């Protein structure tokens, strides 16, 4: 039976440190540029200019993708979801020479599965997600303060 699964992945305070990345990593250059723009925005007295600089910092690290490995019950999910203005919220700040990011990504998919919200909870207890995470600066990644996945499953009409 085809179902529609609606998901929102939320990750809190991911930290990226360009010093831990190789000099030829293309994500390192993006990260350094974003950090410089965020520092400039933090010192800016003009609110509109600060917003513009923050937007430029986010643009510097784009495109961002959420990588997804759902496992057996959710094998029909896409393997990645591109961050867009419509499906994501991203907050960033320069912190201690690095970048701290909190983000959420919302997406829906049609799946051919017997998944229900009840057996999804059982599935999490037995298996959990194979992998869910941002595809950016993996060498510079330090820590996060928790992530969650909100799920609702509906019959396809």
Domain boundaries, the chain: 2-155
Q: Are the beta carbons of 100 and 93 closer than 8 angstroms? A: yes
Provide the whole-model pTM: 0.83
Crossing angle of helices 47-61 and 26-43, in 10° steps, is 170
Tell me how far apart the terminal alpha carbons of the chain are, to the nearest angstrom: 11
90-93 long-range CB contacts below 8 Å, 24 or more apart?
90/58, 90/64, 92/34, 92/38, 92/54, 92/57, 92/58, 93/38, 93/42
pLDDT above 80 for 45: yes
State the pLDDT at residue 77.
86
Residues in the chain: 157
Q: Could you read off the pLDDT of 19-37 as tens digits, one per residue?
A: 989 989 889 999 999 999 9
- pLDDT, average across residues 112-141: 76
pLDDT at 55 over 90: yes
% of the chain beyond a pLDDT of 90: 45
Q: Enumerate residues 6+ apart whose C-beta is below 8 A from 90.
A: 58, 64, 83, 101, 102, 103
Mean of all residue pLDDT scores within the chain: 87
Contact 150, 11 (CB under 8 A): no
Q: What integer is the mean pLDDT of 131-140?
A: 73
The SS3 of residue 54 is helix
Band (126; pLDDT cuts 50, 70, 90): confident
């Amino acid at each position: 039976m085809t179902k529609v699964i609606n998901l929102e992945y939320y990750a809190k305070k991911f930290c990226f440190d360009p010093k831990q990345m190789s000099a030829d990593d293309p994500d390192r250059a993006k990260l350094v540029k974003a950090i410089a723009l965020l520092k400039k925005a933090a010192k800016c007295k003009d609110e509109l200019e600060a917003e513009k600089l923050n937007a430029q910092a986010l643009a510097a690290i784009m495109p961002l993708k959420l990588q997804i490995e759902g496992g057996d019950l959710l094998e029909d999910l896409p393997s990645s979801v591109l961050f867009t203005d419509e499906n994501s919220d991203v907050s960033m700040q320069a912190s201690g020479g690095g970048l701290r990011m909190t983000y959420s990504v919302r997406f829906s998919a049609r799946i051919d599965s017997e998944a229900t919200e009840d057996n999804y909870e059982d599935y999490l207890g037995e298996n959990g997600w194979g992998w869910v995470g941002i595809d950016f600066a993996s060498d510079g990644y330090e820590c996060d303060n928790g992530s969650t996945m909100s799920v609702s499953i509906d019959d396809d009409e």
